[in-house]
Structure 1
Amino acid sequence: MNFSIDSTVTLNNGVKMPQLGMGVWKINNSGASQSVQWALKHGYKAIDTAKQYGNEAGVGDGLTKGLADNGMKREDIFLTTKVFNGDQGYESTLENFEGQLKRLQTDYVDLLLIHWPVDGLYLDTWRALEKIYRDGKARAIGVSNFSVTRLQNILKIASIKPVIDQVEFNPLCQDEDIISYCEENNIYVEAWSPLGGGTVLGDERLKKIAAKYNKSVAQIIIRWDLQRGIITIPKSAHEARIQQNSEVFDFELSEDDMTEISSYDEAKRSLWYGGFYWHGNPTGAKSAVQQWDD
């Protein structure tokens, strides 16, 4: 399998998306700006943020500076953001999305996701995403943290199919039911927390495989994702790790090692919808998200 940092997948609406990108969860605005600039410096073409992260302004600043520093244009980068839970609903999604574009310093995003399926609201939110897509303000639309049942509910009412379900995915949390359903319906799976929030990095079995390839555990996991056909967005606020996470294209995991890592699944989630605050509580959705103070 020949991959590079420029490798893309083709989404079900024909848009090409980089298979490897960088996430910025739990990074403040100044840190997000710096991380984005480092990512572009080291060849990344995809950046993933969300209103709920409170750092869209930092990402927008980092993109503006990073594009200028590297002689790139906005269309050279694939930018993802997500609808905040407290903004869900048809009119509210449309109204608040304009603020997201302003913070990101762009007039469109490449991918817009529903961050969580807030019961009672997410179907109306999807209709709003379809309008945003038709208006040309998002090149593709999808969902995040959707179970098979909630994906099925979207498909029942959708005139535009989601291109992606972004879910927690790493060697200890694989959700094969979602993977299978998405494959059957031409929906890509994108991994958030591909490194298990750092907890997976200490797994002795993965350390043994990493030593065989003279790579870090993080590099082994990222390569495993890529060879499985999963879009992946490891997060880091450190330049050395951002660079290291991109250095996964000079080796290939054997079929035996791919199978071995795939056997580690423990359904060990750090966060999942069943226990999330928004589950069954649409009236409790907050109306604002705290923006990081730097």
Structure 2
Amino acid sequence: MAERLLQSFKRVAGLCHPDCVKANNEIEDYDASQSAALVAVNLISSARLVLKLDTEFTEYSAQFLMDNAGKEEVPGEMDQERCQVTTENCLRYLAENVWTKKEHGQGEMDRQGCQLTVKDCLELAFKKGLPRREHWAHLGCTFKAPPYACQIPRVPMKGEVIEAKTYDEGFKLLEHQPVAAKLHLFSPQIVLVGEGIYDGPASGGRITRYVGLRDVLIASVEEFEGDTVAVVKICYKKKTSFIKVSLTRMFLSIPKNGDDSQAIEPTGLLIYQLNKSA
């Protein structure tokens, strides 16, 4: 039964219930927990490929981290009879969570909680392992994971979380694998960067708006057009891309009209919060 369930997951990978699609289309561009989960699984996938633990780049489930990170584990949950993969339990789950029409947002009630960080996600992955992406619900799925999902096989993960404090510490880790960081985003500069260098806020009185900090993955550091840049993987406006970020540009932001949220002390565009995984 469990093997047939995994096969069915592969057949419907990427597909979703219309209610779930509608709910996700209405979600704003940025979800901090989703972003952290995406960076964590990308970091793990990249590290495992570099260390030759996987023979090819293997995608692991970010939604598994969304469903489980930051939550208290229920003692004995894995041993409950209702957690077994049976036809009866599958039908019960469908009847209670999929076939029954729910009010908008009801499926999200159990997901509300603290905002996840990359560190939270990595620590859970190291403790519990990760299922492959095609064996779990898609990222942003609004349906509660079935209790028998604990029977879905997970790949064991080993590693430790290392948080670098300086660029030098970050560069040393980057010699071995990609690393996680946070990036200061300014609009419309982040959208208009294209193949050029993203160097933060506009100068000369041009329009710029501070968007906030976003989790990103640093793939490498290189020289480009006379500047030292980090090649960064980022998901913005629900689109994933690689951009070149200046490592030499410094900036500051002064609060306007008493809005302290826009105040930023002199800093670089990237803030390292680097992680090592395997």
TM tier, smaller: under 0.3
TM-score normalised by L of structure 2: 0.28
Structure with the higher fraction of residues in helix conformation: 1
TM-score normalised by L of structure 1: 0.27
Structure number with bigger Rg: 2
